Amino acid sequence: MRSIAVSVLAVLVVSCAGQLRKRNIGGFQPAPVALGKCTTFNGVLGVCKRIQDLEGNYADVAQALKSPCNTPCVTRGVCCPLGSAQSAATPKGPGLIVYVEPPPVTVTVDQQEMEKAARFGASSQQRRRQQDIELIRNDIVVSPTEPAFSHRKLQQPTRTALKKMGSAEIALSASKMIAMDQHLSPLQSVAGLVRVSLLNSSLEETCQRAPRCRDSRYRTLDGRCNNLRHGLWGSAETALQRIGMAAYADGLFEPRRAQDGSELPSARVVSMIVIPTHHAENAQHSMLLMQFGQFLDHDVTHTPMIETDDGVKISCCRYGVKVREGEIHSECYPIEMPPNDPFYAPFGERCMELVRSVYAPRPSCYMGPREQMNQITAYVDASNVYGSSEHEAEELREHSGGLLKSRPVHGHPYLPADSFTCKDVKMPEWTCFKAGDERVNEQVDLVVMHTLWMREHNRLARALHAVNPRWDDERLFQEARRIVAAEMQHITYNEFLPIVIGRRHMQKTKLLSPLKSGFTNNYDPEISAGITNEFSTAAFRMGHTLIPDNIISMTQFGSKEKVTPLHRTQFTPFDLYRRDAFSGLLRGLLEMPSMKFDNAFSKELLGHLFQFEGLFGMDLIALNIQRGRDHGIPPYNKLREICGLKKATTWSDFASEIDSQTLSKFALLYKSVDDVDLFIGGVSERPVDDALVGPTFRCIITDQFARQKAGDRYFYEEGGQTGSFTLDQLAELRKTRLSRIICDNEEIGWVQPNAMLNPDPVK
């Protein structure tokens, strides 16, 4: 019987060394040469690689199989262009990290085993669906009155996302069966199964097909075909990338455990003990820094939580305790709270709701560990304004004059109504708002940002129509959208990132925009702009430490007009319906100082998240820590090492980055320096140089935005592309400031030149 053998040779003859270099991220191009013309090393036409060493998108690998080759080093190989030997994760410029590649591990799966695993995967999916039915029948679902219901609403999957997870579910269960049958260790599972191809088996149907791409002046709404060679890179509803190898307890999907195999400390206990009670202001930065950061985050990353195929929200806790064994859903991962919890114990709460994240088909047609899904496009492309699908955009468009839908409130354009998500009990006409990202109503200041950018699109569409009266609706819409995305990129790289990772660091890594003149020539089709799991699940959640206790509205004379606890504005953005509320909230963002970056957080996030009128809410920091374990995020010490810091062997090895008081708490909670969760370790680092964040988070954030610049064919300063701006257009775009966006779209009186800096830093 022909076997599907997958291995990495432990020993290679000298003449073959280097030819079989592994690639970490998918993407593979068929060789543009005739059969038999591949040579081993001279690089004239390409390199001959073993079939089992291919790691690429389904369509690319299938195409490559049509170009077989043979050399002294390889029999039954395929010819690959030299460019494919480079990983999308291989640094080609400053600021990029070398992603961790699996060590050489051999796992062999024959055809019979593969088909048996496929049947097991399908039956596992049926069992899970039956479990869904039982939970609904027994009413083990989240009630709309619970804080967890709003949390789930914030992280709701699309129907297509759940459908794609269904395919990933079958392949993951098949991987699990192979691991069990062959008694694979966690390392063998994570490093060996990733080289087992699903091609030529019934599991081939679970793979994502790469689209056929053609060049266009405009971005696709779902991000596909930004990269013409690797059409799925950076697109919506695809898997997050990884910097380090997945750190699951079993190598495949079980949440991370301690190095000795024991349970990690409760995420709630870590939050209780490590987080200090004092939360200080940062007089240098305005609250708009935090708000733009959240808006930007919602442009590039959204990993939803699992629910039933019918959209029912699974419950993991009942009457304050974890659902008992035999009834609890297999995707539950609740946070257990101690009986002496000073906040939750008086309410009888011992369990905080959490369901695991939606996962995606792996980025290439291979077995391997669970990979979480990014439901939106990875590019800084204003997808939070327009949506990440044609369907979402259609619902937002006016289909006249290139405009987005709006409605008048007190004579000003506001976002369209969304009464389905929420509406005020006393004033039913006061509804939630609809935008390109479903999280728009999370809190009222976020609605302000969305409204501002909707207005900017419509302002541009009207201006374009005045200059080009013959342009139709589609042309006006796409041209305005193209400019809005460029403005978002310019503000991100010129105003936001210099504060977060430091201007000097940006100059060193060549990330600082704009150029004084001319175009950049940075685009590299072998660099994926896809979001990394470590970035979305830990590093970019650094903004949570900047969040204040209250949402503040200010008068035009600089006095506080209204102060509202944060939890009272979550999914209740009805304050905006007051006359002059929009400008008052905007002034609050501009004039109030941001909070400091440290491991202190607002009390609103430590037990009041989504509380509304109830007695208690959720703990965001505990949720962040638990989510990292769910995603198999490597521990803090591993990411430190990847980022070039000293790998700790004792607690004192962290002392250069983390204060002694926090380290003593870590030592009390964690058994080993290798157990500390990335999120809590990263937010506990001292800021470095002129950056807002510490060295590990700066490294991860730099890497991500370097990829989003070099891996985006439509990046606004890039020349020589179909969608490139002219030099005159680029000169105008380089004048963009967030303060200019505000002034152009709201009569606010005055705005400081850099809207993210405090206008009065001595406050």
The secondary structure of 561-572 as a DSSP string is: EEEEEGGGTTT-
Residue 513: predicted pLDDT: 84
Residue 425: predicted pLDDT: 73
Of residues 51 and 450, which shows the higher confidence score?
450
With left for phi above 0 and alpha for psi between -120 and 50, is residue 645 left, alpha or beta? beta
Task: State the Cα–Cα distance between residues 452 and 122, nearest whole angstrom.
Answer: 47
Residue 246: predicted pLDDT: 96
Residue 641: predicted pLDDT: 96
Q: How many CB atoms lie within 10 A of CB 351?
A: 20
Of 19-23, 75-79, 237-241, least confident by mean pLDDT is 19-23
pLDDT at 79 over 80: no
Asked if 708 contacts 529 with a C-beta cutoff of 8 angstroms, the reply is yes
pLDDT at 719 over 50: yes
Task: State the Cα–Cα distance between residues 716 and 519, nearest whole angstrom.
Answer: 9
Per-residue pLDDT band at 424 (split at 50, 70, 90): confident
Token pair belonging to 515: 């150029």
Residue 50 pairs in a beta bridge with 77
Of residues 419 and 2, which shows the higher confidence score?
419
- What is the 3-state composition of the chain as percent helix, strand, coil, each rounded to the nearest 5? 40, 10, 50
pLDDT at 9 over 80: no
R_g of the chain, CA atoms, integer Å: 26
Stated as kind and residue range, the H or E segment containing 705 is helix 695-710
What would the pLDDT profile of 531-544 be if each residue is shown by its tens digit? 999 999 999 999 99
Question: What's the pTM value of the predicted model, to 2 decimals?
Answer: 0.89
Stated as kind and residue range, the H or E segment containing 64 is helix 58-64
Of residues 81 and 423, which shows the higher confidence score?
423
Token pair belonging to 206: 């679970």
Specify burial of residue 716 (Cβ count, 10 A radius: 0-12, 13-18, 19+).
buried
pLDDT at 29 over 80: no
Q: Per-residue pLDDT averaged across 125-152, rounded?
A: 94
Domain ranges of the chain: 3-85, 107-263+312-374, 275-302+389-435+437-599+684-758
Residue 423: predicted pLDDT: 78
In eight-state DSSP terms, residue 99 is P
Q: State whether residue 695 is helix, strand or coil.
A: helix
pLDDT at 52 over 70: no
Asked if 491 contacts 299 with a C-beta cutoff of 8 angstroms, the reply is no
Residue 705: predicted pLDDT: 97
What would the pLDDT profile of 434-476 be if each residue is shown by its tens digit? 999 999 999 999 999 999 999 999 999 999 999 999 999 999 9
What would the pLDDT profile of 329-338 be if each residue is shown by its tens digit? 999 999 999 9
∠ CA(492), CA(498), CA(502), 5° rounding? 150
Specify burial of residue 659 (Cβ count, 10 A radius: 0-12, 13-18, 19+).
middle
Per-residue pLDDT band at 74 (split at 50, 70, 90): low
Residue 762: predicted pLDDT: 53
pLDDT at 282 over 80: yes
Pairing of strands 281-286, 593-595: antiparallel
Residue 101: predicted pLDDT: 87
Residue 92: predicted pLDDT: 61
- Peptide bond preceding 408: is omega within 30 degrees of 0, i.e. cis? no
Q: State whether residue 109 is helix, strand or coil.
A: strand
Active site residue: 298, 457, 608, 631, which one?
298
Specify burial of residue 760 (Cβ count, 10 A radius: 0-12, 13-18, 19+).
exposed
Task: State the Cα–Cα distance between residues 407 and 429, nearest whole angstrom.
Answer: 13
Which CATH code for domain 275-302+389-435+437-599+684-758? 1.10.640.10
| CA count, 13 A, side-chain hemisphere, 6 | 26
Per-residue pLDDT band at 67 (split at 50, 70, 90): low
Which segments within 485-576 are labelled E, that is strand? 550-554, 560-565
∠ CA(433), CA(437), CA(440), 5° rounding? 40
Per-residue pLDDT band at 490 (split at 50, 70, 90): very high
Residue 81: predicted pLDDT: 46
Residue 760: predicted pLDDT: 77
Of 12-26, 509-523, 661-675, 677-691, least confident by mean pLDDT is 12-26
Residue 59: predicted pLDDT: 37
Where do runs of H (alpha helix) occur along 91-231?
111-137, 147-154, 159-181, 186-192
Of 45-49, 430-434, 479-483, 636-640, least confident by mean pLDDT is 45-49
Active-site annotation holds for 298: yes
Residue 91: predicted pLDDT: 55
